[in-house]
């Protein structure tokens, strides 16, 4: 997993728990990299899970909730860092439908070593999108946070129902239902 993702996780933790606390947590966590990340480096996704667990132990916030919050944080980071992807999109569904065939394709060109999930999407009427997320990594709550972040960018409200996919243990189905905006 890219170093820039780790650096953002540490930024989020510092913003919430303070730099000293984060340094202390990094010192005591068992990390192969010893917490010395660079944006161009690549690190095991297991380290991300270790960090999330350590921040959860410190804060009492459940690991899945921390992953979800980190999804929001990363979406804000993506809009600043990769604004070009958002220029021709007009809604959260536009973004979500473009991840597999456009956004992550460009990401892979920039970073051939990136470990990216795969997505399939299907519109159900005008108000619902079914998005199936598939990844060998345990990051479905992070994915949910990214989806929520997309909705926030376009000021859209929706309910998101996550469910398992029969016979596909690496997949999670998100049914996103827009709420009527009045």
Residues at the interface with ligand HEM (CB under 6 A) = 1-2, 5, 78, 82, 85, 95-96, 99, 103-104, 107, 114-117, 135, 137, 139, 142-143, 146-147, 150
Least separation in angstroms between residue 24's CB and ligand HEM is 26
Nearer to ligand HEM, 66 or 150 (CB): 150
Nearer to ligand HEM, 59 or 134 (CB): 134
Least separation in angstroms between residue 106's CB and ligand HEM is 8
Nearer to ligand HEM, 24 or 100 (CB): 100
Using alpha carbons, list the distances in angstroms from residue 61 to 11, 12, 16, 17, 67: 17, 14, 12, 12, 10
Least separation in angstroms between residue 15's CB and ligand HEM is 20
Least separation in angstroms between residue 90's CB and ligand HEM is 15
Nearer to ligand HEM, 110 or 125 (CB): 110
Distance of CA 132 to the CA centre of its chain: 14
Using alpha carbons, list the distances in angstroms from residue 91 to 46, 48, 75, 97, 101: 33, 30, 14, 10, 17
Do 53 and 13 contact (CB within 8 A), yes or no? no
CA angle 45, 46, 48 (to 5 degrees): 65
> In sequence order, what are the beta bridge partners of 178?
158
Nearer to ligand HEM, 60 or 83 (CB): 83
SS3 124: strand
Q: How far apart are CA 15 and CA 101, in angstroms?
A: 34
Least separation in angstroms between residue 164's CB and ligand HEM is 16
């Amino acid at each position: 997993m890219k170093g820039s993702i780790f650096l953002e996780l540490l930024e989020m933790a510092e913003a919430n728990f303070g730099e000293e606390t984060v340094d202390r947590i990094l010192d005591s966590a068992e990390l192969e990299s010893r917490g010395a990340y660079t944006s161009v480096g690549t690190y095991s996704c297991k380290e991300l899970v270790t960090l999330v667990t350590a921040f959860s132990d410190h804060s009492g916030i459940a690991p899945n909730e921390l992953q979800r919050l980190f999804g929001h944080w990363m979406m804000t980071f993506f809009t600043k860092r990769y604004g070009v992807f958002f220029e021709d999109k007009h809604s959260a569904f536009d973004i979500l439908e473009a991840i597999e065939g456009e956004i992550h394709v460009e990401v892979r060109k920039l970073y051939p070593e990136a470990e990216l999930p795969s997505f399939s999407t299907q519109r159900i009427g005008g108000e619902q999108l079914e998005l199936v997320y598939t990844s060998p990594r345990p990051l479905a709550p992070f994915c949910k946070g990214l989806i929520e972040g997309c909705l926030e960018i376009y000021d859209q409200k929706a309910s998101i129902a996550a469910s398992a996919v029969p016979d596909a243990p690496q997949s999670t189905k998100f049914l996103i239902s827009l709420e009527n905006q009045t």
